[in-house]
């Protein structure tokens, strides 16, 4: 018998059993059963188990049966007056069993169909997961008094708008993401952030724009497929799929394109060895061919392999080796000053540090142009080998000691070719190597109140070790050709709310003097 039929039977039974009680409380019990029956039938109508017509019919029938019971009761009373006694008796344990069985079935169906749940939402909303964070930052940029003027950097094409004046600013960052679980094997991710479409490595909004409103941008929009437990495919604008640090990729950077990752055993927590392979194809710039433009589409092809080793619950070591191959990003000089066929070989975005040259071959001798009007291209090719190692020791659990080493070399860098393309850099000690060391002590992630973390590190990155457009935007205020240390810490003042502070002191590796110290104090809230 289904639960709906049982509910109907119980309703009718309740309506028809009002005189099977002792005489001293018969009226009270009958009234109670009467109200209970009416409420139950009304609930069945509201939950669309019964139609209103069926409910009315049932009540009409119940009233008729009740009237019949009254007549039977009168007859029984008459018989009692003549010494005949009739008693309907249901044992208490049978009553309890019936009540418990019905209660369990009603609760089960109510949970499934969400009867009476004021917070009930359609099932598909349960497959949506929201996440986000907010950051309020105070940033102080301290310039050395011995730095070269910004105008001198312009003559090399370097993106240095200020090199001598200290700056203090407030910044905010808001990120709000949505993950939609379409099926067990398909997810769609979307994230909006503050920031703008001109800078791929920053989502900050600087305070002090005369109380003007902020911009919001679509930071991520991707589909993720998991046809098998160990295989994942992404497509669209997706989060960084590679195991890396901010030596090569800024933390705020996302990728346009497709990626695939194969990680056998990644979801098995007790597995000691977990290998992984990740590959991706990412269009950097699509260039429309119009009969004049000779520049070709720019691409990034990437491949990474690695291994995670977890010999115990307190030790985890992860290593990865990657190859990042950029295609068609080196600048090409225009044949004549009036020709623009190779203008789009200039990078679509750059910070500072990479070796550059003027694409217009006569621009250096054109006194009618300012250096800021020149169009610069990258003098080197970029085929980067990157190895990353992170070791996490939790012998003092819940505290962790985490050490990381990251190294990168640009195999596409050929010094003779670069110097031929950019003769103005003759005094620079050009290079293609970069590395970073970092030691972190404390909680790996700050979640609960009073959790903390402290770190210290050192970075050295030569002019063309990595593409300056995509590396960390905070150290040395972004780009390559920088060396120095970083120190900082974080402390959780509430659950999912923490303060963070860090000091980064960086100098140039070669060329014009440019020493920049950056202090950041952040209030973070994650939800």
Does 134 lie in the same domain as 60? Answer: no
Most confident stretch, 12-16, 23-27, 410-414: 410-414
Extract the runs of DSSP E, i.e. beta strands, from 229-355. 231-239, 254-262, 273-285, 298-312, 315-327
pLDDT at residue 5, rounded to an integer: 52
* 45 three-class SS: helix
Q: Rounded to whole angstroms, what are the CA distances from 139 to 308, 371, 500, 503?
A: 36, 30, 12, 10
Domain count, the chain: 2
Kindly tell me if the per-residue pLDDT of 477 is higher than 80.
Answer: yes
Does 374 lie in the same domain as 498? Answer: yes
Contact call for residues 481 and 461 (beta carbons, < 8 A): yes
Does 194 lie in the same domain as 94? Answer: no
Domain that holds residue 300: 130-526
pLDDT at residue 53, rounded to an integer: 76
Torsion angle of the four alpha carbons 35, 39, 40, 46, in this order, in degrees rounded to the nearest 10: 170
pLDDT at residue 261, rounded to an integer: 98
Does 212 lie in the same domain as 72? Answer: no
What pLDDT, in 10s, does the model give residues 292-322?
888 999 999 999 999 999 999 899 999 999 9
* Ranges 166-175, 263-272, 382-391: which has the least confidence: 263-272
Q: Rounded to whole angstroms, what are the CA distances from 453 to 218, 324, 491?
A: 31, 32, 7
Does 258 lie in the same domain as 280? Answer: yes
- pLDDT band at 59; cut points 50, 70, 90: confident
Q: What is the mean pLDDT of residues 48-73?
A: 73
Kindly tell me if the per-residue pLDDT of 88 is higher than 70.
Answer: no
Specify if 28 maps to a domain.
yes
More confident residue, 118 or 47: 47
Specify if 24 maps to a domain.
yes
What pLDDT, in 10s, does the model give residues 192-243?
999 999 999 999 999 999 999 999 999 999 999 999 999 999 999 999 999 9
pLDDT at residue 260, rounded to an integer: 98
Question: Which DSSP string corresponds to 326-363?
Answer: EES-B---BSSTT--TTGGGS-S---S-S-EEESBTTG
Q: What span, in angstroms and rounded, lies between the C-alpha atoms of 369 and 359?
A: 14
Q: What span, in angstroms and rounded, lies between the C-alpha atoms of 250 and 245?
A: 8
Kindly tell me if the per-residue pLDDT of 424 is higher than 60.
Answer: yes
Does 413 lie in the same domain as 488? Answer: yes
Does 223 lie in the same domain as 79? Answer: no
Does 56 lie in the same domain as 147? Answer: no
Specify if 486 maps to a domain.
yes
Specify if 466 maps to a domain.
yes
Specify if 210 maps to a domain.
yes
pLDDT at residue 266, rounded to an integer: 84
Kindly tell me if the per-residue pLDDT of 367 is higher than 50.
Answer: no
Q: What is the mean pLDDT of residues 167-175?
A: 97
Question: Which DSSP string corresponds to 422-476?
Answer: -GGGTTS----EEEEEEEEEE-SS--STT-EEEEEEEEEE-TTSS-TTTS-SSGG
Kindly tell me if the per-residue pLDDT of 150 is higher than 80.
Answer: yes
Q: What span, in angstroms and rounded, lies between the C-alpha atoms of 409 and 69?
A: 95
Which of 81, 99, 119 is where one domain is finished?
Answer: 119
Which of 71, 98, 119 is where one domain is finished?
Answer: 119
Does 141 lie in the same domain as 35? Answer: no
pTM: 0.77
pLDDT at residue 217, rounded to an integer: 96
Residue 149 DSSP label: P
Kindly tell me if the per-residue pLDDT of 118 is higher than 80.
Answer: no
Specify if 125 maps to a domain.
no
Give percent of the chain above pLDDT 90: 67
Please enumerate in sequence order all residues whose Cβ is within 8 A of that of 5, keeping only pairs 6 or more positions apart, or say none. none
- Two tokens, residue 202: 């920053």
Which of 119, 141, 160 is where one domain is finished?
Answer: 119
34 exposure class (CB count in 10 Å sphere: 0-12, 13-18, 19+): middle
pLDDT at residue 61, rounded to an integer: 77
Q: What is the mean pLDDT of residues 241-247?
A: 97
Does 136 lie in the same domain as 115? Answer: no
pLDDT at residue 368, rounded to an integer: 45
pLDDT at residue 15, rounded to an integer: 47
Q: What span, in angstroms and rounded, lies between the C-alpha atoms of 143 and 476?
A: 10
Please enumerate in sequence order all residues whose Cβ is within 8 A of that of 24, keeping only pairs 6 or more positions apart, or say none. none
Specify if 124 maps to a domain.
no
Specify if 214 maps to a domain.
yes
* Ranges 106-110, 139-143, 415-419, 438-442: which has the least confidence: 106-110
Neighbouring C-beta atoms of residue 105, cutoff 10 Å: 16
Tokens 């009761």 -> residue: 73
- Angle (nearest 5°) at CA 421 between 416 and 427: 70
Does 479 lie in the same domain as 359? Answer: yes
| Residue 341: closest CA among 360, 328, 327, 356 | 360
* Ranges 48-62, 134-148, 153-167, 417-431: which has the least confidence: 48-62
- pLDDT band at 21; cut points 50, 70, 90: very low
Output the domain CATH number for residue 470.
2.40.160
Does 40 lie in the same domain as 188? Answer: no
């Amino acid at each position: 018998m289904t639960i709906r039929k049982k509910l109907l039977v119980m309703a009718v039974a309740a309506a028809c059993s009002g005189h099977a009680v002792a005489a001293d409380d018969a009226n009270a019990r009958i009234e109670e059963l009467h109200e209970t029956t009416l409420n139950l039938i009304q609930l069945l109508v509201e939950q669309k188990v019964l139609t209103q017509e069926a409910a009315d019919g049932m009540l009409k029938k119940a009233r008729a049966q009740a009237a019949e019971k009254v007549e039977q009761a009168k007859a029984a009373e008459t018989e009692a007056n003549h010494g005949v006694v009739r008693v309907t008796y249901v044992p208490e344990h049978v009553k309890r069993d019936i009540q418990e069985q019905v209660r369990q079935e009603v609760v089960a169906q109510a949970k499934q169909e969400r009867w009476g749940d004021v917070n009930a939402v359609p099932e598909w909303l349960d497959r949506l997961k929201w996440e986000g964070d907010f950051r309020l930052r105070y940033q102080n940029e301290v310039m050395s008094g011995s730095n070269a003027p910004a105008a001198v950097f312009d003559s090399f094409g370097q993106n240095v708008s200020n090199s001598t004046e200290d700056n203090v600013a407030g910044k905010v960052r808001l990120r709000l993401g949505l993950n939609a679980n379409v099926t067990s094997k398909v997810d769609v991710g979307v994230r909006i952030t503050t920031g703008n479409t001109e800078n791929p490595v920053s989502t900050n909004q600087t305070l002090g724009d005369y109380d003007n409103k902020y911009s919001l941008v679509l930071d991520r929009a991707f589909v993720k497929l998991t046809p098998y437990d160990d295989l994942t495919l992404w497509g669209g604008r997706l989060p960084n799929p590679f195991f890396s640090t901010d030596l090569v990729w800024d933390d705020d950077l996302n990728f346009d394109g497709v990626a695939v990752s194969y990680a056998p055993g990644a979801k098995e927590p007790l597995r000691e060895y977990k290998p992984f392979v990740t590959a991706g194809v990412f269009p950097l710039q699509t260039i429309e061919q119009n009969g004049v433009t000779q520049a070709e589409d720019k691409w990034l092809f990437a491949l990474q392999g690695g291994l995670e080793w977890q010999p115990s619950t307190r030790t985890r070591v992860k290593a990865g080796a990657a190859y990042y191959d950029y295609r068609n990003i080196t600048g090409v000089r225009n044949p004549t000053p009036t020709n623009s066929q190779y203008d789009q070989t200039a990078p679509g975005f750059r910070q500072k540090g990479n070796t550059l040259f003027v694409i217009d071959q006569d621009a250096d001798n054109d006194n009618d142009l300012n250096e800021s009007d020149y169009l610069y291209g990258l003098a080197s090719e970029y085929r980067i080998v990157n190895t990353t190692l992170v070791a996490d020791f939790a012998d003092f659990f819940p505290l962790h000691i985490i050490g990381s080493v990251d190294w990168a070399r640009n195999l596409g860098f050929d010094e003779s070719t670069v110097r031929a393309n950019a003769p103005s850099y003759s005094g620079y000690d050009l290079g293609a190597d970069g590395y970073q060391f970092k030691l972190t002590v404390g909680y790996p992630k700050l979640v609960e109140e009073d959790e903390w973390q402290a770190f210290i590190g050192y970075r050295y990155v030569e002019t063309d070790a990595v593409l300056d457009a995509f590396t960390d935007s905070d150290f040395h205020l972004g780009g390559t050709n920088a060396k120095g240390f970083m120190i900082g810490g974080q402390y959780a003042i509430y659950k999912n709310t923490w303060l963070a502070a860090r000091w980064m002191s960086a100098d140039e590796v070669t060329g014009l003097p440019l020493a920049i110290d950056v202090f950041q104090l952040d209030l973070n809230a994650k939800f």
